[in-house]
Amino acid sequence: MMGPDEVDVTDERGRSMQLELTAEDQEFREEMRKFFTTEVSEEIRQAVIEGRELSKEQIVESQQTLNKAGLAVPHWPEEWGGRGWSELQRHIWHEEMQRAGVPTPLAFNASMIGPVIAQFGTEEQKARFLPQTASLDIWWSQGFSEPDAGSDLASLRTTAVRDGDDWVVNGQKTWTTLGQYGDWIFTLVRTDPEVKKQAGISMLLIDMTSPGLEVRPIQLIDGGHEVNEVWFEDVRVPAENMLGEINSGWTQAKFLLGNERVGVAPVGATKRNLSRAKDLAKETSDGNDGTLLDDPLVRARIVELENELLALELTALRVVAHSAGGEPHPASSVLKLRGTELQQAVSELLVDLAGPASVASGAGDGSDLASWARTVTPNYLNLRKASIYGGSNEIQRQIISRSILGL
């Protein structure tokens, strides 16, 4: 008969089409969960869970805790701190970290420049930068976007001109996230203006204390200072700080952006936020005798979001299970698109749950309003960025329609 008691015939045939993790992966998951919930500062995790801004010191402390345990850069080459994990283990590591409210390792270091240096750097560059990149003793900033080079990154205009043993850099970068904390900035510069735009770009590693380099804050719609402009005026960069060959920067940039899209769907964090929304709805009065979770419309909205997140998480698992040793699963391109949409939708739900209190973003400790209700709107506004960065969601649709559907 077919039913819940049915013996799974696939069990006899190996591991096709089944949900259960292997004992090894199960143990791995327990190990990760235990570490993240017991070894990383409770105060930092609580701040992440409640959506509060972290200080530079907290971000560094958290990454150093991970790095000491070999959990900051597991995807790097093993020689430089990588762990040789399976794709599934990396997925579990990433999900459990988010679920516990552990800040994920600084993306500029761990996901972006680290793997690029490991792949394209000289031995001197690797030895000089990689250990400090993993430990966040160097805080990297990203110098890619310019005022006239957003999605069309290759049209960038910041120049580097050779002068003796140095490159002399002039121009302007923008949207440099947390550039105010940056020690070094990996920067795409134009080294040959005469050729096709992609062919004249190089990547320079630039010390942000260099004379002529200036970081100027950009205030955002959430009231915070998260991104910056970085100006270069005759900044001298030693020639040994070019990463990769001259005029090969577009290759490194594509490699970096390809890595950026992996793990860009913050499923674990969005699940945690939705679960929190449910708790908050349960403890927030509807103004009468009930709570917000008694409202059938609120319940229905949560059900729909949970289901869409479940579909996304399962898609991520399908991709992970598929990519063991092969080409990336085509469905990976939906992860960024859908992941950011759901991240935004949950942040929007929280604003609506906060109701009239959501306006009180500037209220201090003397406020009678719940503290969560005062932070949700800035978060919602801040997260509008998610469908713009990392290859805007329209770029993702372009990738799907061209590369997957052949349109």
Partner 1 sequence: MDFTYDDEQVALRDAVRGLVGKAYNDYEHRRQIVGEDPGFDEEQWSRLAEMGVLGLPFCEDDGGVGAGPVEIGIVCQELGRTIAPEPFLASVVLAGGLVSAAGTAEQRGEVLGALSAGDSVLAFAHDEPGRRWGPTAQKVTATQDGDSWALTGVKEPVLHGARADVLVVSAALPDGGTGLFLVAGDADGLAREGYSTYDGGRAARVALDGTAATPLGEAGADLTATIATVQDITRIMAGNQSLGAMQTLLKATTDYLKSRKQFGVTLNTFQALTFRAADMYTSLELTHSLVDWSTMVIAAGSPEEVAAAAARASLQVSRGGRHVGQEAIQLHGGIAMTAEYNVGMFVAHLTALDHLLGDGNHQVGVLSTKVGDYELIDPLDV
DSSP symbol at 203: E
Handedness of CA 21, 22, 28, 34 (dihedral sign): positive
247 near 197, Cβ under 8 Å? no
Contacts of 278 (CB under 8 A, 6+ apart): 293, 302
Confirm or reject binding of residue 23 to partner 1 (CB under 8 A): no
- Assigned token pair, 330: 């085509």
Q: Please state, in angstroms and rounded to a whole number, the distance separating the CA atoms of residues 29 and 47.
A: 23
Confirm or reject binding of residue 94 to partner 1 (CB under 8 A): no
Q: Which of residues 53-92 bind partner 1 (CB under 8 A)?
A: 88
Nearer to partner 1, 6 or 124 (CB): 6
- Assigned token pair, 93: 């590591």
Confirm or reject binding of residue 406 to partner 1 (CB under 8 A): yes
| Catalytic (active site) residue 260 | yes
- Beta-carbon neighbour count of residue 344 at 10 Å? 17
Confirm or reject binding of residue 407 to partner 1 (CB under 8 A): yes
The length of the chain is 407
Min separation Cβ 10 and partner 1, Å: 6
Nearer to partner 1, 162 or 282 (CB): 282
* Amino acid at residue number 165: D
Confirm or reject binding of residue 385 to partner 1 (CB under 8 A): no
* Pairing between β-strand 184-190 and β-strand 242-243 as defined by DSSP bridges: unpaired
Which of these ranges, 144-152, 231-239, 315-323, 382-390, lies near partner 1 under the rule CB under 8 A?
A: 315-323
Confirm or reject binding of residue 356 to partner 1 (CB under 8 A): no
Confirm or reject binding of residue 293 to partner 1 (CB under 8 A): yes
Choose the catalytic residue: 53, 260, 306, 308. 260
Q: Please state, in angstroms and rounded to a whole number, the distance separating the CA atoms of residues 130 and 127.
A: 6
User: Which among 180, 220, 142 has a CA at the least distance from the CA of 380?
Assistant: 220
Confirm or reject binding of residue 296 to partner 1 (CB under 8 A): yes
Confirm or reject binding of residue 2 to partner 1 (CB under 8 A): yes
Q: Please state, in angstroms and rounded to a whole number, the distance separating the CA atoms of residues 135 and 280.
A: 36
Write each residue from 157 to 196 as x if it is in contact with partner 1 (CB under 8 A), else as -, in one continuous string. ----------------------------------------
Instruction: Using CB under 8 A, list all residues that contact partner 1.
Output: 1-4, 6-10, 13-22, 25, 88, 271-272, 274-275, 278, 282, 293, 296, 299-300, 302-304, 306-315, 317-318, 321-322, 331, 334, 337-338, 394, 396-398, 400-402, 404-407
Catalytic residue numbers read 260
